[in-house]
Structure 1
Amino acid sequence: MRIVVDANVPAAEACFGELGDVVRLAGRDIDACAVRDADALVVRSVTRVDESLVTGSRLRFVGSCTIGTDHVDEALLSRQGIDFASAPGCNAEAVVDYVLSSLLTLGERHGWRLDERRVGIVGVGNVGGRLLARLRALGVECLACDPPRAQREGPAGFQDLEALIDDCDVLCLHTPLIHRGPHVTHHLLDARRIAELAPETVLLNAGRGDCVDGQALRGRLAGPGDITAVLDVWEGEPAIDPALRDLAAIATPHVAGYSLDGKLRGTHQIYRALCQRLGLPARLALDDLLPAPPLRRLELGGGLTSEEALRLCARAVFDVRRDHDRLLREQHRQGLARGFDACRANYPLRREFATLGIELGEGAEDLTPLLAGAGFRVAPG
C-alpha cells in the first residue's frame, strides 16, 4: 500500500508506516503525478483535493489532518468511491491559545484589561465554542453569532452579526469558508461591514482568510486607522498582501492551530480513520505520540495582578509576537510566498496551555479560577 503524506504532517511514519509505504511530499508539490499510484493520501489545508488531482488515480482514501475541509471536493470523492476523513477539533485548543495570547498582548500595548472588553465570536463550532467557554470563565462578556446553529437549536443565546458589530469591542471570526447556500461566509466582513466597525474595535481572524474582504480592511486600516487587526489567515495565501500585513497589529502565517499537540491529534485522528477503512485495529494511542512538554511546571507567588499572571503563564507556553516577527523576517529574506510557507514548514516546537502545570504559592491562591479558566492545570502550593 502506497500512502502519500504532506511533509508537514508529524509522526507520519509512526502512524502510517505500519500500514504501508509512506511517501512524504511538500503539500504544494502533491499533484496528479504524485498520487496516481497512491492508495491513500494524507494532506493539510494547502493541498487542493479536486478533480485535477484525483481523477485517474487508484486512491481509495483521503484524509485531511485539519478542522476545515473547504480545500477538499467531498462530493467528487464520494462519486469516485473514495473515502474521506478530516480531523474536526484537532487544533481547536491551540487556536484558542492563539486568540488569548493575541488579546493579552494587545491589552498590554493599549492599556486595557481583557475582562473590560466585550467579545463577539462569529462561528461557535469546535474553536468558537471553546473560546466562548474560556472567555466566560475569565469573566469576559461575550456575544455569539452562528446562524446555522441558531437555525438548528433556536435563537436563544445567539445574536446576528450586526448586533456584534454594533455592541462588541473585539470581533473574532472562526467560521468555515462557504461560497454558496443560505449561510455564505465568503467576504462575510465585506466593505460595508468593515466600514461599520466602531473605532477602537479589534478584528481578529483565525478562521479563513477569504471571510474578510482584505482590500476593504486594508483601506480602513490605511485610512482612518482607528481599528486594530489581528490576522492569521489571508486571501491569496501564501502570496499575501504585504500592505495589509504591515498594517495588521499582529500578522502571522496561518499558524494559530500549529501546536504540536494539535498536529499530532490530527495525525492520530486520520490514522484511526484509515485503520477503520482497512478493517485493522488502531495500535497506537495519542499518548504514545505526545512527548513530555519542555516546561512542565511554573510556580507563582503573590504580588501579581490577574492580568499579569495570565500574560506570564500564556507567554511561558506561547508568545504570539514570536510568530509575528518571524513572518516579517522570513518574508523579507525569502519573499512573500516562500517566506510564508517557510514559517509554516519550519515552525518551532509549540505546546498548548493545558500542558503547563501552575503551582500557586502563598498569596496567589485567588488566581486558581482565573488560570484554570484560561486552560492551565492549576494546583495549590
Structure 2
Amino acid sequence: MAKRKILVTRRWPKPVEDRLSETYDATLNSDDVPMSSEAIAAAFSDYDAICPTVSDKLPAGVFPAETPRTRILGNFGVGFSHIDTDAAGAAGIVVTNTPDVLSECTADLAITLMLMAARRASEGEREVRAGDWAGWRPTHMIGTKVSGATFGVLGFGRIGRTAAKRAHHGFGMKVIYYDAFPVKPEFSAETRAEARDSIEAVLREADVVSLHMPGGRENYHLINAERLAMMKPTAILVNTARGEVVDANALADALGRGTIAGAGLDVYEGEPTIPPALLRTNAVLLPHLGSATKATREAMGMMVADNLDAFFAGREPPNRVA
C-alpha cells in the first residue's frame, strides 16, 4: 500500500521529521523558507495532509472550491487563528492542534518577560553592550518590584493557570483573572486566584497583566488605547498569546506617554514585521520564543504525528479542533 503523501511547511525537529518520513511519503522544507499562499493553495490537490505552523496563513481564499485531496491539517502549535476553520470544514478538512505540551515553557516565558520588563533587564543589557554603563549608582535604571504585587491573567486556560502558579508560588503574587468561560474551582484554588467579572476590572487592579487568550476575530485588538488607559501607570503588560490581541500602535503610544510603565512581548500582529513605533519604546521584544525548547518543540511535532496516525487509521484525532 502506498504511503500517504504529507507536506511539512517549515523545518521541524529532526526526530519528528524522521518519524514522519518513515511513516509517510513526506515532503520536507529543508531550507525552512516560508511557503507562499499560492504554493499552499496548490498543495491541497497533491497531498493527503498538510502540516502548517503559525507562520503560515490559511484564510478562506486558500481553500479550494472543489473537494481537495487533502483531508487533514496537522497544525504545529496550540493556536490556530491563522487557519480559517470554517473554510476548512466546508472543504471537508479536519484541523488538529498541539495543546498541553507547550504550557509550561510558554508560561516560563511570560514570567521571563514580566521580570525583564519590571527590572529593565533588556535596557540594561543594551546599555552594557553599547559601552554606555558608567557604573553603579543609587538612582540608575530603577525598576519595579513584582514580589507581592498583583498578577492579572486574561484567559485562565492551561497556559494562563501555569503562569499564575509561577507568579503566586514563586513571587508571592496575588492572582486575579478573567475568563469568558467558567473555570473549575480547583483551578483557581491552586493559586488562590480571584475571579473578576470583566476584562476592565483586571486591567484596573493588576500590577502585571498577562494575556493568554486565543487570537482570531473575537479578540482582535482586545487591548486597545481605551483599555490601556485603564491600567495603572506603574503596570506592565505581557503578551505570549497572539499578536493580534494587542493594538501595537496604541501600545507604543501608551508606553511613550507613560500611560503604563512597560511591556514584554513575544508575539506580534503581522510577524515578523513589527511597527517601528514599538521598536522605539522601552518594551521587551522577543522573537516568538514561547515554546522554543528542544523538548517542547519535539513533543509538539510528535503530537502532530499522533494526530495524523489516528486520522489515517480511521480514528478520531486526539486533538481535533475543527
TM-score band by shorter chain is: 0.7 to 0.9
Match of 2:202 in 1: 164
C-alpha distance in 1, partners of 2:275/2:10?
26
Match for 2:27: what amino acid? Answer: V
Equivalent-residue separation in structure 2 for 1:236 and 1:13 (angstroms): 27
- The reply to whether residue 38 of structure 1 matches residue 47 of structure 2 is yes
Whole-Å separation in 2 of the counterparts to 1:208 and 1:106: 19
Q: CA deviation at 1:242?
A: 2.0
How far apart are 1:112 and its partner, in Å? 4.1
Give me the CA root mean square deviation: 2.6
TM-score, length of structure 1 as denominator length: 0.67
Q: CA deviation at 1:23?
A: 1.1
Considering fraction of residues, name the structure with more helix.
Answer: 1
Unaligned runs of 5+ in 1: 282-381
Amino acid across the alignment from 2:284: I
The within-5 A match list for 1:338-377 is none
Q: Does the alignment pair 1:219 with 2:219?
A: no
Aligned to 1:379: none
Contact 1:4 1:35 in 2 (8 A): no
Change (3 A) 1:245 1:86: same
Distance 2:216 2:182 in 1: 15
Q: Which residue of 2 aligns with 1:63?
A: 74
Given that 1:91 and 1:261 are in contact with CA atoms closer than 8 Å, whether structure 2 keeps it comes out as no
Aligned-partner Cα distance in 2 for 1:132–1:76? 35
Query: 1:366: which partner in 2?
Result: none
Unpaired runs of at least 5, structure 2: 121-141, 316-322
Shift of 1:164: 1.4
2:20 corresponds in structure 1 to 16
Q: Distance in 2 between matches of 1:220 and 1:12?
A: 43
Change (3 A) 1:151 1:90: closer
Matched residue, 2:126: none
Deviations 1:126-178 (A, max 9, x none): 2101111222222221111112235999x994212222112111111111114
Counterpart in 2 of 1:293?
Answer: none
In structure 2, distance between residues paired with 1:253 and 1:28: 19
Query: 149, 169, 175: which is aligned to 1:117?
Result: 149
**Which of 101, 104, 107 matches 1:93?**
104
Please tell me whether the aligned partners of residues 90 and 262 of structure 1 are also in contact (alpha carbons under 8 angstroms). Answer: yes
Q: What is the CA-CA distance between 1:83 and the residue it aligns to?
A: 2.1
Correspondence for 2:127: none
Q: Which amino acid aligns with 2:28?
A: R
Deviation at 1:37, TM superposition (A): 0.5
Partner of 2:302: 268
**2:107 is equivalent to residue 102 of structure 1:** no
Alignment match, 1:329: none
Q: In structure 1, what is the Cα distance between the partners aligned to 2:56 and 2:185?
A: 32
Provide the C-alpha distance between the structure 2 equivalents of 1:247 and 1:233, rounded to a whole number of angstroms.
16
Code of the aligned partner of 1:32: A
Task: Report the identity percentage.
Answer: 26
Query: Whose relative contact order is higher, 1 or 2, with alpha carbons under 8 Å and at least 6 apart?
Result: 2
Aligned partner of 2:211 among 155, 158, 173 = 173
| Aligned with residue 126 of structure 1, among 158, 178, 181 | 158
Cα shift at 1:95:
1.0
Instruction: Map 1:110-259; keep pairs closer than 5 Å.
Output: 110-138=142-170, 139-149=172-182, 157-159=194-196, 160-179=198-217, 184-224=218-258, 226-259=260-293
- Pairing partner for 1:3 from 6, 12, 15: 6
- Partners of 1:196 and 1:75 in 2: how far apart? 35
What's the counterpart of residue 74 of structure 1? 85
> Which AA in structure 2 matches 1:257?
S
What is the count of residue pairs matched by the alignment?
Answer: 277
State how far apart, in whole Å, the 1-side matches of 2:112 and 2:100 are: 19
User: What is the distance in 2 between the residues matched to 1:3 and 1:12?
Assistant: 13
1:83 has 2:83 as partner: no
- Check conservation: 1:228, 1:248, Cα contact below 8 A: yes
> In structure 2, do the counterparts of structure 1 residues 266 and 275 end up closer, same or farther at CA, with 3 Å as the change threshold?
same
> 1:39 Cα deviation (Å)?
0.9
Q: CA deviation at 1:271?
A: 0.6
Deviates more, 1:117-126 or 1:97-106: 97-106
